[in-house]
Amino acid sequence: MVGRISFDGAKLLGNGQFSNIYSGMLDGVKQVAVKQVLLEDVQQNVIYHCIDESDIYKQRNQREENALMKILDHRNVIKLFLVEEDAPFKNFALELCVCSLDQYCKGQFNCPMPSDATVLLHIAEGLLYVHSKGLAHRNIDPENILISSTPVTVMLADFGLSKPVRIGTNSFSVSRDRQNAQGNNLCWMAPELLDDPDDEAISEKRGSVASDIFSTGCVFFFYLKPGYHPFENSQILTASNIIEGIPVHFLEFFPEEQSRFQAMVGSMIASKPEDRIQLKEVVNQLREMVEVYPTSPEVNEMNDQFNEQLDWLN
């Protein structure tokens, strides 16, 4: 036990290159997921443009901590309750979820879910809130969208790559370290972010909140047609098709009962950022599709607060 956060090392929920996630407790009474991150330098021989891989991961954890502890507070964004250091580790007490959207869509977990429109609305409202706070998520994929129970809530997670956007342009700089740190997630990135690694002008390129919208559109498709990506499943082919603007499996995979989502998703994954639908319009369309979408007075008040901040996004 370390301070207010405790966990059993035998109850491993998942792991990464420099972290493990355990089932644990906060103050001995609240169930949480405990992300344990190694603080000390990890001996790595792999150098990415003079930045040690462990240093990149530390930067990601600091970004996530800053975003979740200081900026974000919304029911569709995972909650970070507390951070404690216990050298050589740092422990993050996070909201406990039952599975990721990726695990659910691949049939690894079977939990009751609300309507398709409600699930997509949860994702879109969470991202709209993030954008309203002046941040781009930059890492939207099914593994970084989590599902909690009682009640079922879908929420965004992993803010290690989030960046402030420039007010007026809603854009952020594109850097090589982001590409290197995210090589396994290329198939969820917008075409404007899939730069040629030999392109020396990359430092001048900029992504935007529209890049998040593209990724979210791909995730919507992945959920509606579980396990399928609109631009193919092979990672290499997917990235190539995204760059070329070829949605291989798009039209054929929308049966009549899901046709109401087709135009919306198609607009989200348009090749050019300026051609993509605004996220606020996505939320409005999904709200119209949801016949009953229960919200508490607290959530309604929160929505009113951040909706007032959205004009600069349009």
Q: Which residues are annotated as a binding site for ATP?
A: 35
Q: Where are the alpha helices (DSSP H) in the chain?
A: 53-66, 101-105, 116-132, 176-181, 209-224, 235-244, 262-268, 279-289, 297-307
Query: Residue 206: what are its φ and ψ, rounded to 5°?
Result: -135, 140
What are the percentages of helix, strand and coil residues in the chain, rounded to 5? Answer: 40, 20, 35
Q: How far apart are CA 61 and CA 64, in angstroms?
A: 5
Q: How far apart are CA 107 and CA 197, in angstroms?
A: 35
Q: Is 221 exposed, middle or buried (0-12, 13-18, 19+ CB in 10 A)?
A: buried
Closest to 162 measured CA to CA, from 77, 275, 102: 77
Strands 145-148, 99-100: pairing is antiparallel
Task: Give the contacts of 283 (CB within 8 A, at least 6 positions apart).
Answer: 121, 124, 125, 128
Q: How far apart are CA 168 and CA 200, in angstroms?
A: 26
Q: Which residues are annotated as a binding site?
A: 35
Which residue's structure tokens are 């690694």? 197
Q: How far apart are CA 135 and CA 41, in angstroms?
A: 29
Q: How far apart are CA 139 and CA 161, in angstroms?
A: 6
